[in-house]
Structure 1
Amino acid sequence: MPAKDVLTLEQVQANLLQLPQWRYGMGALRTALKCESSASALALFSTIGALAQEANHHPDVDWRYDTLFITLTSHDAGSRVSARDAALARSISAQAQNSGAVAKPELLRVVEIAIDTDDEDAISETWRTALGYKRQKDGSLADPFGRGPALWFQKTATPNANRFHLDITVPHSESSPILSELEATGAALDPEAAPRFVVATDAQGNRLCLCTEEGREIDGSPVDGQ
């Protein structure tokens, strides 16, 4: 039975007003918590595990030395944000504050690989088989364990000569300094679709898109027009 506590985008944003450590992106609540040490990060990880067990609702947590990257979404709600995610985020934030952890939203990055193609069906199965991924409803391919970047197919009648590009999604609140730093590297920026995404082209013609949650569908479906 589908979950009935899925939050609308407006409800997600309302919850975020009470969750300053968290950001919304790619259809999930996300945070990065920098702890005082590796040991304190592991202790907080254990505490989060206990909270998850108590709530019977389990986040994705990536422990990297003194930093925890946490993603909250509800699989039984089609991997969308539910009231349970917001409640668990509040509990995690309280424990993080008690442990001295500091939120680092500028560390949040979600990377996707996009391939220009005029015939998605001709290549999709090859990539799915090689990666061991699962095909999603929108045709994209995703790692069932959430370890590798998603791969999706940019359908176009005129594929770019360089068919691969990366979509790098960051919180909109953190995007301006990143764009400034990109420009300082010599990258050419095309802001036509901003703030949804900005196309950056390096000095050798390779492209990436710096994307934000602004204008993106709540289910996290790709919106990049490249």
Structure 2
Amino acid sequence: MPPEPIRGWEFQDAAKDWRVLSTSGVGSWFAATSHRDGAALLRRIVGLRADDQVAGSMQPNVDLRGSGVQVWIPVPDTRRWTTADLALAQAISAVARELALTPDPSVPQNLEWGIDTDDKTTLLPFWQALLGYEDTEYDDLLDPLRRDPRVWFYPATPRPLRDRIHFDVSVPAEIAEQRVAVARRFGGNGHWAPADGEVLLTDAEGNEVDYVPADGVDDGLETADWRLPFGGMVFYPTRNFEQSVDLAEEVAAVADEIGLPLMIDLRPAGVMIDTGKDQWEDARFGETARRVQQTAQDKGLTADPNRLRFVQVCIDAVDIAPVREFWRAVLGYRNDPRGFVTDIYDPRRLNRPMIFQQMDPNDTARREQRNRIHLDVYVPDDQVAARRQAALAAGGRYTRDDGGTIADPEGNEVDIGKAIADPPT
């Protein structure tokens, strides 16, 4: 019997560990005590996908960390999951329990960037070029690997002053210049001269991005596959999910043996291995990079630097402490313990960090202008109310009487919502 389509709420009702999110799909988090313990679940998923009950199911996207595994069943092109996808999710949950991995469906979330514009036809290709994203039939931009935030555009009247939000983006140096040249054809401005420390670009309406070219590791051929876009990063294309799991298992063992936590993300196109922001500065990175590269090369894999990208959101604030606390509450993040930075970060390292920069308190007009950029945070439907309440308790306020958009203490906006329709009553 062929798989039958099912709705998101039907999926959640039948698979209690899983939650429907926005562009990522339906997912769950399974806590573990090491990379290798999490990798054991990946190996079992290989076997599950050979079962007739899950024939035709989507290949899962997997984010392996030292503290657990996040598994996503992606949104199909048809926009509807099937009973085969549901069977796979149920089987993964059962196997996770056998492996003593603890499910926590409250963990998955998506962060998205919204840009107000009256000229989407110009802005969209600018951002697509710099990010290396896909343009979709829904007129938004998506990371082909579904690791970084979706970007969407909303019709609005132009607002001329500088925003209080901008983005940092870093890609390998060998592709940065070409992407900047394409972006300039779509209204990109700015004196981009990285050798002189000039990396700021703006789109046709003044939205800003610091576009940073990333060099390789200056440590000889043994680490030549790696690049340093704010962290150590390498991507290896693979033939199939099983080959990805083969590589992930060995990388997990390296991470545990050396003691350097890694982000190991499996996608249909291959495996991304990432230290996370600034962690390449750890003294253990050199040995980790050498051993990971040797492992991949022993398997006949060749690195592809075109897939690498780092992104983060930067918010300008007059009084950083309360603004930072607001966004920490909104995102469920932690403050970076380093006293010389303002970063907040995802404790499970599943989502990108955010930073805060000092703003001139005398820049009154810019402070009063509503941003062109705002953020959307999608969380599981049973977490929306609590997350909104946390935002309000941290100094946020609703911008309308009927609720919805919440502004931080200095007016930067966020929508906290769900991505699943309510079941019929």
Under TM normalisation by the shorter chain, which class is it?
A: 0.7 to 0.9
Aligned to 2:46: 49
Aligned to 2:64: 63
1:63, CA displacement in angstroms?
Answer: 0.8
Aligned counterparts of 1:119 and 1:213: Cα–Cα separation in 2:
27
Q: Which of 207, 210, 214 matches 2:416? A: 210
1:72 aligns with 2:73: yes
Aligned to 1:134: 134
1:102, CA displacement in angstroms?
Answer: 1.5
Residues 136-155 of structure 1 mapped to structure 2, 5 A cutoff:
136-155=136-155
- 1:49 alignment partner AA: V
Aligned to 2:10: 14
- Checking the alignment, whether the CA contact within 8 Å between 1:33 and 1:67 is kept in structure 2 is yes
1:174 aligns with 2:383: yes
Aligned counterparts of 1:61 and 1:106: Cα–Cα separation in 2:
17
1:17, CA displacement in angstroms?
Answer: 2.1
- 3-state secondary structure, aligned to 2:81: coil
Residues 186-197 of structure 1 mapped to structure 2, 5 A cutoff:
186-190=395-399
1:100 aligns with 2:100: yes
- 1:18 alignment partner AA: A
- Checking the alignment, whether the CA contact within 8 Å between 1:105 and 1:174 is kept in structure 2 is no
89-98 or 101-110: bigger deviation: 101-110
Aligned to 1:115: 115
Q: Mark the CA change 1:139 to 1:59 in structure 2 (over 3 Å): closer, same or farther.
A: same
- 2:384 alignment partner AA: S
Aligned to 1:220: none
- 3-state secondary structure, aligned to 2:70: strand
Structure number with larger C-alpha Rg: 2
- 3-state secondary structure, aligned to 2:154: strand
- 1:6 alignment partner AA: P
Q: Which of 26, 29, 32 matches 2:29? A: 32
> Structure 2 unaligned runs (5+)?
160-368
1:51, CA displacement in angstroms?
Answer: 2.1
Q: Deviations over 1:174-198 (max 9, x none)?
A: 122212211121011357666xxx3
> Structure 1 unaligned runs (5+)?
217-226
1:109, CA displacement in angstroms?
Answer: 0.8
Q: What is the TM-score of this pair, normalised by structure 2?
A: 0.45
Q: Mark the CA change 1:4 to 1:171 in structure 2 (over 3 Å): closer, same or farther.
A: same
Q: Which of 201, 205, 209 matches 2:407? A: 201
- 3-state secondary structure, aligned to 1:107: coil
Aligned to 2:392: 183
Q: Deviations over 1:52-71 (max 9, x none)?
A: 35546411111121221111
- 2:96 alignment partner AA: A
- Checking the alignment, whether the CA contact within 8 Å between 1:39 and 1:66 is kept in structure 2 is no
1:20, CA displacement in angstroms?
Answer: 1.0
- Checking the alignment, whether the CA contact within 8 Å between 1:52 and 1:59 is kept in structure 2 is no
- 3-state secondary structure, aligned to 2:138: coil
Aligned to 1:162: 371
1:111, CA displacement in angstroms?
Answer: 1.0
Q: Mark the CA change 1:4 to 1:39 in structure 2 (over 3 Å): closer, same or farther.
A: closer
Aligned counterparts of 2:109 and 2:402: Cα–Cα separation in 1:
19
Q: Deviations over 1:133-190 (max 9, x none)?
A: 1100010001111121110001123667311111110011012221221112101135
Tell me how large the CA RMSD over aligned residues is: 2.4
Aligned counterparts of 1:186 and 1:172: Cα–Cα separation in 2:
23
1:4, CA displacement in angstroms?
Answer: 7.3
Q: How many residues align?
A: 207
Identity fraction in percent? 25
Q: What is the TM-score of this pair, normalised by structure 1?
A: 0.81
- 3-state secondary structure, aligned to 1:166: strand
48-57 or 182-191: bigger deviation: 48-57
